Amino acid sequence: MPDQRDTVLIEQARIQRMRLGSALLYGRIDERRTVNDHFKRLIGSLILAAVVCAVCVGISFVVQLLAGQRAAGPAPASTSVSAPPFDSIPSGAS
């Protein structure tokens, strides 16, 4: 078991050394971020906000539509006009 702990400690030291070397060569992580990264986040956030707004408007529309139907009461039965059967031909037509 102590052998595994030693291996983990050595690996952590190696990772820390690599991170420090990267920070020395390339600077802090804030300085390494490019405008392109921030622009992608901005566009993604705007798209997400637009989708959320569209969902809210759609839900509001459906709720308002259902409330209007409920307030109007049951819809009146539609009256249909029946056509004369095809067998009967008006007396004046040939």
67 vs 33 pLDDT, higher one:
67
Q: What is the pLDDT of residues 69-90, one digit of tens each?
A: 888 876 556 666 666 666 666 6
CA dihedral 3, 6, 8, 13 (to 10 degrees): -160
pLDDT digits (tens, 9 = 90+) for 12-50: 999 999 888 888 887 777 666 666 778 888 999 999 999
pLDDT of residue 27: 75
Give the contacts of 26 (CB within 8 A, at least 6 positions apart).
32
Q: Which of 2-6, 59-63, 79-83, 90-94 has the lowest mean pLDDT?
A: 90-94
Q: In the Cβ-directed half-sphere of 26, how many Cα atoms lie within 13 Å?
A: 12
